[in-house]
Amino acid sequence: MDIQKIRRDFPALGKKWNGKYPVYLDNACMTLKPEPVIDAMNEYYTEYPVCGGRSIHKMAKKVDEKVTLSREKFQKFLGASCPEEIIFTRNTTEGLNLVANSLDFKNGDIVLTTDREHNSNLVPWQVQAHKRGVKHIIVYSNPDNTFDLDAFSGLFDKNKNVRLVSMAHTANLDGYTIPVKEIIKIAHDNGALMMLDGAQSAPHKHVDVKALDVDFFALSVHKMVGPTGMGVLYGKHHLLEEIAPFIVGGDTVSDTTYESAKFLPTPEKFEAGLQNYAGIIGSGAAVDYISGVGLSNIEEHEKRLNTIITKGIKDMPGLKIIGPEDPNLRGGIISFTVELPKGGDAHDIALILDETENIEVRSGAFCVHSWFNYRKCEAAVRASLYLYNTEDEAKKFVDTLGKTIGLFSP
């Protein structure tokens, strides 16, 4: 990886704030956008900014061609069997909600999740519990936040109605990736479907949905150098054909009467209304970009930077890293709680890092409020890495964090 060449593709990294360039370490929230993605979206807006899927004129056909091409790119990117298994959504949240609302859950059906799910994979099951009597059971992690495979397996001995296992592939809390092959095998051996929240895995490591044998996989394109308001849901074709659409209306049907509607096949029946065509086209460009860099290169690069940061901060007073000690098990995420003798919380740390050196991190509960509330912990700081971050930035973060901690120490 030529990091400096990559960095030149991202205009935001070349803009100074208060006389200094940004050190962007909030990639788990959203990644920056490279010029090829911006150019692809601008091409749509300047050359053929019209509807797809309806009209038969030249510009409309161009949109259809570009949308089809992007769908095929995601098929290849995820290892899906056919383009029809790729549904364009707004984000991971919509993909997870689509499945939660479309599967024919019955009263007493069980959904298993981990104890550190993003709200997007927690709240839908709470809603389904109230609406349809779904029972939501949590698989609690080991003390170091790794997955307890024995506890997970044991739940099937006690619960015979597990319909779906829905889990974060890689956690946005600490970057830990669950042993997904083993989990999927156990789920399938017990007659349950498997869905993965891939928001934090697809941008950072190679994912082959067919090799994993996962039934549903949702991701957010804005976390993989793509446009905002774009996501993808993969589903096995026979399952997508069986389940009912979540949002219906224009573009989901081929014909209607006053009393009935004839629904289109997948993926169209799940893509209601006028689509974000610029976003879909930009999403295809994002796939091209990170595929060109190489997922294995990205994954190893992040681990190298995480190792630098972990070594630099693990013995800092008042900080406690969340998750496994080994940075190789946390990919590109370093989260830590803050407890200092002279005050100063996670938000103070994040604010000072930004104000002094333009180091941009996340502070708070990262949409995993349930995990923090269970442990009576209010907030943490999270630094998250991506392909354009450098070793110098990692060292600068460590150095500036040490000075910041010193402000709240005797």
DSSP for 65-87, written as a single string: HHHHHHHHHHHHHHT-SSGGGEE
1 falls in which pLDDT band (50, 70, 90)? Answer: confident
Supply the DSSP symbol for 26: B
CA distance 227 to 211: 28
Q: DSSP letters along 228-263, please?
A: TT-EEEEE-HHHHHHSPPSS-STTSEEEE-SS-EEE
Q: Are strands 162-168 and 135-139 parallel, antiparallel or unpaired?
A: unpaired
| Distances 294 to 105, 204, 328, 329, 361 between C-alpha atoms, Å | 39, 9, 18, 20, 25
Q: Tell me: the pLDDT tens digits for 66-106?
A: 999 999 999 999 999 999 999 999 999 999 999 999 999 99
| Residues 287 and 227 sit within 8 Å (Cβ to Cβ) | no
pLDDT level of residue 145 (50, 70, 90 thresholds): very high
Scanning the structure block, which residue is given the tokens 């994979």? 121
pLDDT confidence of residue 294:
97
φ and ψ at 177, to 5 degrees?
Answer: -105, 125
**Structure tokens belonging to residue 363:** 């502070």
Query: 194 pLDDT exceeds 80?
Result: yes
Judge whether 280 and 70 are in contact, CB under 8 Å: yes
pLDDT for 215-270, tens place per residue? 999 999 999 999 999 999 999 999 999 999 989 999 899 999 999 999 999 999 99
What is the band of 185 on the pLDDT scale with cuts at 50, 70, 90? very high
Mean pLDDT of 167-190: 98
Average pLDDT rounded to a whole number, residues 125-153: 96
The whole-angstrom separation of Cα 208 and Cα 234 is 11
Provide the 10 A C-beta neighbour count for residue 407: 13
Query: Which domains does the chain carry?
Result: 3-30+294-406 (3.90.1150.10), 37-292 (3.40.640.10)
Q: Is the dihedral of CA 151, 156, 158, 162 positive or negative?
A: positive
| High-pLDDT (> 70) share of the chain, % | 100
Q: In whole angstroms, what is the distance from residue 81 CA to residue 296 CA? A: 22
Q: Catalytic: which of 29, 51, 82, 367?
A: 367
2 contact partners, CB below 8 Å, separation of at least 6:
none
Mean pLDDT of 192-221: 98
pLDDT at 342: 84
Instruction: State pTM to two decimals.
Output: 0.97
Contact 386, 224 (CB under 8 A): no
φ, ψ of residue 89 to 5 degrees: the values are -125, -175
- 29 as an active site residue: the answer is no
Angle at CA of residue 244, ends 243 and 245, nearest 5°: 120
Q: What is the pLDDT of residues 338-372, one digit of tens each?
A: 998 888 899 999 999 999 999 999 999 999 999 99
Beta strands per DSSP E along 182-242: 193-197, 216-220, 231-235
**Would you state the pLDDT for residue 25?**
98
- Strand-pairing partners, residue 336, are 321, 381
The per-residue pLDDT of the chain, averaged, comes to 96
Q: What is the pLDDT of residue 288?
A: 98
pLDDT of 410 higher than 80: no
Whole-number Cα distances in Å, 381 to 135, 171, 331, 349, 378: 33, 15, 16, 8, 11
- Helical H segments across 259-390, by residue range: 277-293, 295-313, 346-357, 369-374
For the residues 369-383, what does the mean pLDDT come to?
Answer: 96
Q: 284-335 pLDDT, tens per residue?
A: 999 999 999 999 999 999 999 999 999 999 999 999 999 999 999 999 999 9
Chain centroid to Cα 246, Å, comes to 21
Give me the pLDDT at residue 138, please.
97
Whether residue 409 is predicted with pLDDT greater than 90 in this model: the reply is no
| DSSP category for residue 13 | G
Residues 284 and 40 sit within 8 Å (Cβ to Cβ): yes
Task: Spell out the residues 6+ positions from residue 298 whose beta carbon is closer than 8 angstroms to its own.
Answer: 1, 203, 204, 205, 290, 386, 387
**Over 90: is that where the pLDDT of 387 sits?**
yes
